[in-house]
Structure 1
Amino acid sequence: MTSVEEQARAGWARLMGSGGAQDRAPGQIVPADLPAPNGLVATGGRGHVTLSWEPVPGAIGYAVHRATASSGPYEPVDHGGGDVLAVPHGPYADTTGEPFRQYWYAVAPLSTVTSMGPLSVPAVAAASAGAADGLAEVAVHVAADVDAGPLHRPWRAMVGSEHLSHLLCEDTTGGRPIGAELTEALRRVRDELGVQQVRAHAILCDDLGVYKVVDGRPRLDFSGVDRVYDTVLELGMRPVVELSFMPRDLASDPSRTVFAYEGIISPPRDWEQWSWLVRELTAHLVERYGLDEIRDNWWFEVWNEANLSVFWSGTPEEFWRLYDETARAVKAVDPGLRVGGPASAAVGWIDDQLARTSPVDFVSTHTYGSPPLDLRPLAGDRPLLWTEWGVTATHGSEVNDTVFAAAFLLRGMRSTSRRVDALAPWVASDHFEELGRPPRLTHGGFGLLTVGNLAKPKYWALTLAQRLGDTELPVALSGDGAAGLVEAWAARSGDGTVTVLLWNATLDHAKADGDPELDRAVTVDVTGLPSAAYRLTHWRVDATHSNIAALWRTISEGRDWPDERQWAALREADRLAEVEPSRVLEARNGTTALAFDLPMPAISCMELVPMP
């Protein structure tokens, strides 16, 4: 291994160790048995450098490196997401450099997040800065008469939620009823976004009274679980049964807790009792809801992020014993029930999970700050469930309420289309109390919806994605920032409606509030249209459209929570905004074209409905 490659591995080790993502010290990155990527091309543009390369078979992702000289040292590009900063594929737009400064780039493949292959042959480029000739341009071409296959909608599979006992809470936050609004938030994501399942922690915690020792004898009570699961099913959803945390009377160390609601994170003091609890709960669910229902539609996930000491006070060996005991207990009820994990932070422990001799029916993991990596080389034909995912793992970060986060969601959903079984945004609602209940309306909560169930830009992003038809259409992009900054997703509905969804975004958190250098002038041409005229509706999510946080900043008058007048104003504005009035477009020779400016960050959605 060359000194340059050793430097690259050391840089990746520092980056992986510095963010606290996996409770490991730097220096544990090992060589991967993968070749270096071929064909790296670096293209300088206004405000960015876009990198593209040929994919490496067997790679789950790529670590992008940069140097100020061809000889190095090559350091990983840190775009500020704070988790695993690898990307699943190119193109990648680096917006973190200085304009007009040449950088040498190299890309290394990953076989796991701690196993890196060699660097590619470097490519050199520099970002430019703006001139007086207007915005840089991107062209988007959509072929409306070509079938690119069924549209896959990863957001429909699953969403995250605060622990489900919160559905029963009769307290208020900001004057709003917690349980009722969380229930309504789940109803909205089911009815409006098509989400089918909800994942939450702590179904075994003491607030639901599942396991108690009375007069020296263990007793089980599943009535609390029944209440919350019945509520979920009444909403038209199904729960992911995350088997956590430890009941107090079964915990080896009840003092080890996490979150404001004090979920106990220690191993069990009696492994046989733990297995009995899991087996009896599983049998109860099968009896209550039916074997076919549970076998075909439910997932049993073991614990949450045990590779972080904040969620598991035991050793790794004790966690794997927990997994093995749990999997056997679930399968003892019926071998066809689906159990898996490791539900890890930052894509950790995947190889360890797949090495188990006990059943692993699906692979689940989490990441924040980047699109999910491509775990198919590791998982084989097992379902892949990203049971937590988002723009940042930091609760209370302002970025959660922004248009930047909304465009990030679309980038991830488009990236994972047809390669994952679930990509679950974390979480549905700002009614969330892991670190304490919300202190104000816009506080950087993880929710798609605020307290009060106002739609954040993230919610509108998924609403627009939901408008896409069932037949995907091929899209070709060209120009300055095409596919690295500006991306597009297009589809056709059964009635001939063509919907084109575009976003302009970077992964660079330092640019979350925007950067004029990254704004673009976009031209969209659609060919192969069978009708002579179409009704155009053009929705926008940006700094001034479909942005409840921006409106609240202007009318809050220093208040943490709205008064009745302000609630009324917010609800009046709580809708998708059109960037221009609806109008009729002619399609000459089956072609029509649109031109508009697209800031960064921003989302545009154009819907072309055929006129009779």
Structure 2
Amino acid sequence: MSPTPFPSPASGADAAPTEVEPAAHPDDIRVRVGRGQVDIDWDPLPGAAGYLVHRSDGGGPFHVVDHGGGDLLAVPGPPYADTSVEPGRTVRYAVRPVHDPDRPDAGPLGPASAPVAARADGAARVDVDVDAGRPVGPVHRPWRDMVGSEHLSLLLSADRVGGEPMGAGLAAALSRVHRELGVERVRAHGLLGDDLGVYREVEGRPVHDFTGIDAVLDVLAPTGLRPVLELSFVPRALARDPSREVTAAGVSSPPRDWDRWGALVGDLVRHLRARVGDDELRRWAVEVWNEPDLDCFWTGSREDYLRMYDVTARAVRAACPGLPVGGPATAATRWIEPFLDHVDVSGAPLDFLSTHVYGSPPLDLRPALARHDRAGTPLRWTEWGPSPTHFAPVNDSVLSAAFVATGMREAAGRVAALACWVASDHFEELGRPPALLHGGFGLLSVGNLAKPRYWALWMLERLGPVELAARLDGDGAGTLVRAWPSVDPDTGRVAVVLWNGTLDQGVLARSAQRARLDRSVRLRVGGLGAGTYEVRHRRLDEETSNLAATARRLGVHGWPTGEQWAGLRAADHLADAAPPTIVTPADGRLVLPLTLPMPSVSLVELTPR
């Protein structure tokens, strides 16, 4: 998170909108029909951030394929698996490029593919060939940079939910994601809310009090995580409209006095600098606000937010030049071009670009940065997950684990952070948890039990430091079934994460369709050294390593009993699909047959003995 150079302050003239790429579209749409899905491929366009896949059913009009993510439907690139089409239906596809996420329909729709008929039969087999002797580069781990969290003042709570302490439970979850997933930072959401008492006025004069923030940081420090300071919301005593609450602790109104807001930010940063020192503070970061494009989080205009960004970023830079600051922290990848246009003119510091998206892998915003002469500026997706909806069943599902693996694989090497929202189901902004399994945002449940998305990240964290070459072939290869192979050159351990998934959340309600998407996989690993190997295969699927399945077997309804809590904790590990075996590769080659149901994620490790 080292700060990048920023331009000198400009005169304050309005920024002219940056010209995006000229109109173009993918003109060679290639389709392949598999059992239960149609795979769509095309050649990427320079400058595109993503693409919207359109389908025509039976010769009818084209419409965007809606995979049910509840947010931006564009994907960052090809290929795409459409698992929502009914077998027997004749369909055609076309692709629209997205250059500016604020105007996803602005690009031209390309020519249609040849018509194809979806089917319900087929071989349903995929071959995955991995060459342990062909490294292709480092394994990039975008989950490590940060994780999301409920407002960290919850760390101070003595309340209990489901019989579990909220503050201690959140701290335990943050410790676990640091210890087991390698996560380095946590997004400190809503840091300036009134629950921490940072601001009041006495006889009209501002009083700043950071003892509440200090108390939170004292509890956070033992978890091993550093904070990304999300500077929101406005204290009531400073708000233009104190009645506009986000929560009881936060106000979504702009400040009534920009100088006093800047002074509050500057004093906070100077306080933290004195508390932890420059070397430590430059490993933190500041994000300006949260989702100012949504009325529920920001009642001002976009111009008000841009002023908020300028005032805040300059106050941060003046108080600690080494502390990175960024934004705009918008929902659904909005305001990227106007935000970059603005800071180009205002000269406000921008050390990283941040935004949010749900239900799809993150778009590729590197072309936007390049258009603004900011190539290399870190991209931090500071909120991301399968659904923007709290209490959504997909949040607890195995399908969400495959979604996480796909997103991390696609983002690796092009983003600095893809932060899962959130670490723990200890979350109250939209209502406290009513039951153990309630569709909460957390990677970990109340009680600190791993949900499927957690296990996906746990498996990815087991990858070695070097990525290996791989080739996938067969029905759904590279669209449903994906692989991320690796090796540790120091030990020779080969680790491969494989998964079967789809972006289409509708398969959760279509059991017959879901069964058609099961796949048999033949994993062939070559280039192995001489000697014997331990082969271990651990798996997550609907019945294996799945918290919901364990809770169902134990008869959990609502909150667990004491005996059920014990049973859940005893099962809180990633289970072996079969007992580990010792094998000797023939000519440095092993062939391992696997079954990957839809959805599932597997970790296969070959460890020299």
**TM-score category by the smaller chain?**
over 0.9
2:5 maps to which residue? none
8 A contact 2:278–2:322 mirrored in 1: no
Task: Provide structure 2 residue ranges, at least 5 long, that are not aligned to the other structure.
Answer: 1-18, 370-374
Partner of 2:523: 524
SS at the partner of 1:474? strand
Determine whether 1:337 maps to 2:323: yes
CA gap of 1:413–1:88, structure 2 versus 1, over 3 A, is same
Check whether the contact 1:534–1:584 (CA below 8 A) recurs between aligned residues: yes
Matched, 1:43 2:32: yes
Pick which of 120-129 and 156-165 moved more.
Answer: 120-129
1:423 aligns to 2:418 (yes or no): yes
For 1:167, the equivalent position in structure 2 comes to 155
User: Who is 1:118 aligned against?
Assistant: 108
Residue 501 (structure 1) aligned with residue 489 (structure 2): no
CA distance in 1, matches of 2:32, 2:54: 15
Deviations 1:586-610 (A, max 9, x none): 3111110011221000111110111
1:46/1:127 contact within 8 Å kept:
no
1:233 is displaced (CA, Å) by: 2.8
Residue 272 of structure 2: aligned partner: 285
Map of 1:463-502 to 2, 5 A cutoff?
463-493=458-488, 494-502=490-498
Percent identical residues: 53
Map of 2:90 onto structure 1: 102
Which aligned pairs between 1:376-387 and structure 2 lie closer than 5 A? 376-379=366-369, 380-387=375-382
Give the TM-score, by structure 1 length.
0.92
Taking structure 2 as the reference length, what is the TM-score of the superposition?
0.92
In structure 2, distance between residues paired with 1:204 and 1:402: 34
Q: Does the CA-based 8 Å contact 1:43-1:125 persist in structure 2?
A: no
Confirm or deny that 1:306 pairs with 2:306: no
8 Å Cα contact 1:252-1:269 kept in structure 2: yes
CA distance in 2, matches of 1:376, 1:62: 15
Equivalent in 575, 588, 597 of residue 599 of structure 1? 597
Instruction: Say whether the 8 Å CA contact 1:34–1:56 is kept in structure 2.
Output: no
SS at match of 1:39: coil
Q: In 1, are the aligned partners of 2:130 and 2:524 still within 8 Å (CA)?
A: yes
How far did 1:120 drift?
A: 2.5
Q: 2:575 & 2:436 partners in 1: Cα distance?
A: 21
CA distance in 2: counterparts of 1:458 and 1:189, whole angstroms: 12
> CA offsets per residue over residues 121-140 of structure 1, 9 Å max, x none?
32135454444x8x511110
Contact residue 210 and residue 221 of structure 1 kept, 8 A: yes
Per-residue CA deviation, residues 336-392 of structure 1 (Å, 9 max, x unaligned), is 432110000000001111112222221000000000001111122211000000000
For 2:572, the equivalent position in structure 1 comes to 574
Instruction: Say whether the 8 Å CA contact 1:154–1:421 is kept in structure 2.
Output: yes
SS of aligned partner of 1:510 = helix
Match for residue 21 of structure 1? none
Matched, 1:209 2:180: no
Q: CA deviation at 1:418?
A: 0.3
SS in 1 for 2:218: helix
Q: CA deviation at 1:555?
A: 2.4
Secondary structure of 1:224 counterpart: helix
2:384 aligned counterpart, secondary structure:
strand
Structure-to-structure mapping, 1:62-461, within 5 angstroms? 62-68=51-57, 73-113=61-101, 114-115=103-104, 116-126=106-116, 128-131=118-121, 136-259=124-247, 261-295=248-282, 297-355=283-341, 356=343, 357=346, 358-379=348-369, 380-461=375-456
Single out whichever of 34-43 and 319-328 deviates more from structure 2.
34-43
Q: CA–CA distance in 2 between the matches of 1:87 and 1:384? A: 17
> Which residue number in structure 2 is paired with residue 512 of structure 1?
508
Q: Is the contact made by 1:99 and 1:126 (CA closer than 8 Å) also made in structure 2?
A: no
Distance 2:517 2:58 in 1: 26
The answer as to whether partners of 1:44 and 1:125 remain within 8 angstroms in 2 is no
- 1:466-497 per-residue CA deviation (whole Å, 9 max, x = no partner) reads 11100100111010100010000010012001
The offset of 1:31, in angstroms, is 9.0
Taking the aligned partners of 2:562 and 2:116, their CA distance within structure 1 comes to 52
Tell me, what secondary structure is at the counterpart of 1:123? coil
User: Secondary structure at 2:45's aligned position in 1?
Assistant: coil
SS in 1 for 2:521: strand
Query: Higher relative CO (CA 8 A, sep ≥ 6), structure 1 or 2?
Result: 2
Question: Bigger shift: 417-426 or 532-541?
Answer: 532-541
Amino acid at match of 2:354: S
Write the deviation string for residues 435-480 of structure 1: whole angstroms up to 9, x where unpaired: 1210110000000100000111111111111111001001110101
The alpha carbon displacement at 1:334 in A equals 3.4
CA contact (8 A) 1:32 1:110 kept: no
**In 1, distance between residues paired with 2:23 and 2:276?**
47
Residue in 2 that maps onto 1:26: none
Distance 1:298 1:319 in 2: 23
- Kept after mapping to 1: 8 A contact 2:91/2:117: no
2:22 to 33, 37, 45: 33
- Tell me which amino acid in the other structure corresponds to 1:344: T
TM-aligned CA deviation for residue 33 of structure 1: 2.0
Task: Give 1:573 deviation, angstroms.
Answer: 1.0
Contact 2:398 2:540 in 1 (8 A): yes
CA distance 1:233–1:34, shift in 2 (3 Å)? farther
Q: What letter corresponds to residue 283 of structure 1 in structure 2?
A: R
Where does residue 372 of structure 2 map in the other structure?
A: none
Structure 1 runs not aligned, ≥5 long? 1-29
Following the alignment from structure 1 to structure 2, what is the Cα–Cα distance between the partners of residues 38 and 534? 48
RMSD of aligned C-alpha atoms? 1.6
How far apart in 2 are the matches of 1:262 and 1:310? 14
Aligned partner letter, 2:352:
F
Deviations 1:282-332 (A, max 9, x none): 11111111123223x121111000000010011111111111111111122
C-alpha distance in 2 between matches for 1:311 and 1:465: 33
Which structure 2 residues correspond to residues 529-548 of structure 1 after superposition, within 5 A?
529-548=528-547
2: CA distance between counterparts of 1:262 and 1:184?
A: 23
Which whole-Å CA distance do the structure 2 matches of 1:214 and 1:555 have between them? Answer: 57
TM-fit CA distance, 1:572: 1.1
Whole-angstrom CA distance in 2 between matches of 1:197 and 1:279: 22
> 1: distance between equivalents of 2:81 and 2:36?
10
The AA in structure 2 aligned to 1:33 is: P
Aligned partners of 1:239 and 1:442: how far apart in 2? 28
The alpha carbon displacement at 1:234 in A equals 2.7
Partners of 1:480 and 1:520 in 2: how far apart? 8
SS at match of 2:129: strand
Mean Cα deviation higher: 86-95 or 60-69: 60-69
The residue identity in structure 2 corresponding to 1:454 is L
Please identify, of 548-557 and 462-471, the stretch whose mean Cα deviation from structure 2 is larger. Answer: 548-557
**Tell me, what secondary structure is at the counterpart of 2:138?**
coil
